[in-house]
């Protein structure tokens, strides 16, 4: 059973307090590109559509990762509220993925509720420091997306030295 779909909740994953760190955005785009090469789709699953410098977040991620990123807006007629059991079903039908081939990456209680009520594995991003007691913590997007043959040093995949210092971007619109 291969992994086929990664759903990401933008709040606390891509940005925190309406700010996105450019190192996380860069790592996320690299991760999305690597997943696409492996046949894994990455999509956003949120009630609110997000923008980055006026550009829809999924368009930014698609452009920068060179892989298609879809936004599923929960709470609409097509895609029910995420916390409701079965709300994942239209997405699974559309993508061709099965529940056991899908994970949710999120860091808030609403993400935990969505995962539990839809039978999804929850990975909790810890790169913004959210200490929610649910889900499996992942320290960095670099580690989450590291190639299996890439050396991990102190929990971090080797990366360019320019990525070591995060720059806070205040252009995220929430």
Burial 32-64 (b: 16+ CB within 10 A, else e): bbbbbeeebbbbbbbeeebebeeeebbebbbeb
Q: Where are the alpha helices (DSSP H) in the chain?
A: 22-37, 57-65, 89-95, 109-118, 141-144
Mean pLDDT to the nearest integer, 30-42: 95
Is the model's pLDDT at 63 over the cut of 80?
yes
Is the pLDDT at 56 greater than 80, yes or no?
Answer: yes
Quote the pLDDT of residue 52.
87
CATH code of the region 5-173: 3.40.50.1000
pLDDT of residue 138: 85
- The tens digit of pLDDT for each residue in 92-112 reads 999 999 999 999 999 889 999
User: Is residue 117's pLDDT more than 60?
Assistant: yes
Mean of the per-residue pLDDT values of the chain: 83
3-class DSSP state of 27: helix
In the chain, where the domains are located: 5-173
pLDDT of residue 145: 60
């Amino acid at each position: 059973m291969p992994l086929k779909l990664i759903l990401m909740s933008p709040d606390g994953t891509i940005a925190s307090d309406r700010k996105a760190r450019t190192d996380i955005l860069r790592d996320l785009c690299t991760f999305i590109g690597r997943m696409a090469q492996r046949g894994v789709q990455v999509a956003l699953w949120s009630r609110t559509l997000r923008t980055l410098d006026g550009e829809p977040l999924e368009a930014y991620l698609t452009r920068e990762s060179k892989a298609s990123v879809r936004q599923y807006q929960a709470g609409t007629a097509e895609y029910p509220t995420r916390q409701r059991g079965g709300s994942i079903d239209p997405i699974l039908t559309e993508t061709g993925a099965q529940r056991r081939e899908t994970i949710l990456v999120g860091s808030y209680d609403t993400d935990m509720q969505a995962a539990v009520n839809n039978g999804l594995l929850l990975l909790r991003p810890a790169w913004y420091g959210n200490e929610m007691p649910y889900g499996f913590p992942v320290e960095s997007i670099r580690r989450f997306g590291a190639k299996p043959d890439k050396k991990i040093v102190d929990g971090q995949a080797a990366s360019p030295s320019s990525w070591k210092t995060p720059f806070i971007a205040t252009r995220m619109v929430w």
